[in-house]
Copies of this chain bind each other. A is one copy, B any other.
């Protein structure tokens, strides 16, 4: 790339050092639709409403992002109690907290390095050892007793932090030797954004919309073969349960993917942040680690895997704390040292997020004072999400020109919409993609904020959007009334 000579002033007018022309061109390529222009516009509309501007609606419904608390979901009491106690240990003297919350807080504070040290000190870069031990126990329990090593656990500033760290390690080489990463389409755009930043190549494989967004290894093979012309594909990213697509992989499917990775020397990255969000009957979460183990020594001693989890999703939805973890399997010990060094430059993940994670992986046990309330709150959230997942597909499928796969898990639907040719032309005239045009019009007419499918990727000629299942049930119901009317109006207008 030619860099304009920034030392020459422009006819006496001083030119800036940092401009669109001189800045890092990889960053320019980054796109992140989940917080893109439509969300900025939604924020502006919300302000207009506050200022009394008249609209055909009275509120903006933010169905664009997996942010449960922003949609009114109440926090899990026990988790917040423990974190508050860790933040302000004077409260350990208070009578307003149950004993088990206090006991947990004391334990976490002790783990931070002795009674005098608290959430205000840096933790170890890899995370508090006691919490990593608890994470390892949690994983062992999840995977039917399969051993987890706390040294393989890296606590992170949200799962995103772990995904980025792992991709950073994996990207190397130049030109056609540059690392390529196989990414599902539709995908969560953190992957494409990070690969753009790292100047790495995305090797897209399509999920099969006609089979409830399932993952077909023949399609993986096609994508791999095609990718090899442009780069060196070395990474296979899988999101299970799917974001934005909401499918849950069968055990059989996970096995096939692992075999494919082994055969083609691919490093597996398993984004499993929705592992607690499985709703559909007959579906269950199968961790890549467990299935890998069960495939026997031909696989479980060689296939390299990084799995990611987060406190932002599940039943707790604690997005603001920025907590999560990554578990590595079969990672080269010398690379693990490099990973430790890399994360140490940013000192440590937020300690309050680590404390919150500890409660997620080590919840109250039967017989403890907070067990009942905790369980009730958890089941309530997950039960409501399951209802709304069902409601969502049913409602979309009842609208002519809209079809939606079963939302088996995660927090999103990704319905397909028919956009009339005239609307496609109108979009083109405005320099927008048809789905972007559609989503903007939906926002302007109804206040419903969704993310256009093009922000996640979709088969050419198909149009979708991602909508969360997080608004409260009653709001979801009125949302669908608004949406149905809008879609009909839109279709009539452009037909």
Contact = CB atoms under 8 A, between A and B. Distances in A.
A67 B122 contact: yes
Interface of A: 1, 3, 6-7, 14-20, 22-25, 27-28, 30-32, 34-36, 43, 65, 67-70, 72, 75, 77, 80-81, 83-85, 87-88, 90-91, 94, 96, 112-113, 116-125, 157-158, 160-161, 164, 168-174, 177, 189-190, 193-194, 197, 232, 234-235, 265-267, 302, 304, 312, 317-322, 330-332, 334-335, 338, 341-342, 344-353
Nearest to A20: B334
25 contacts: A7-B265, A16-B302, A17-B170, A18-B304, A19-B332, A20-B335, A22-B234, A24-B170, A25-B172, A30-B342, A35-B347, A69-B117, A77-B90, A80-B87, A83-B87, A83-B88, A84-B91, A94-B94, A94-B96, A96-B96, A122-B320, A123-B320, A189-B345, A320-B348, A321-B352
B88 A335 contact: no
A244 to B, nearest CB: 16
Nearest to A2: B177
A94 B164 CA distance: 41
Question: For chain A, what secondary structure do more than half of its interface residues adopt (helix, strand, loop), or is it mixed?
Answer: loop
A322 B123 CA distance: 11
B122 A265 contact: no
Contact of A18 (B75, B169, B321, B349): B169
Given A119-B320, A158-B346, A321-B352, A234 B17 contact: yes
Contacts of A17: 170, 234-235, 265-267, 304
A7 to B, nearest CB: 5
A27 B337 CA distance: 11
Given A24-B172, A345-B30, A121 B319 contact: yes
Contact of A160 (B14, B34, B346): B346
Contacts of A170: 17-18, 23-24
Contact of A3 (B112, B122, B172, B342): B172
A451 to B, nearest CB: 13
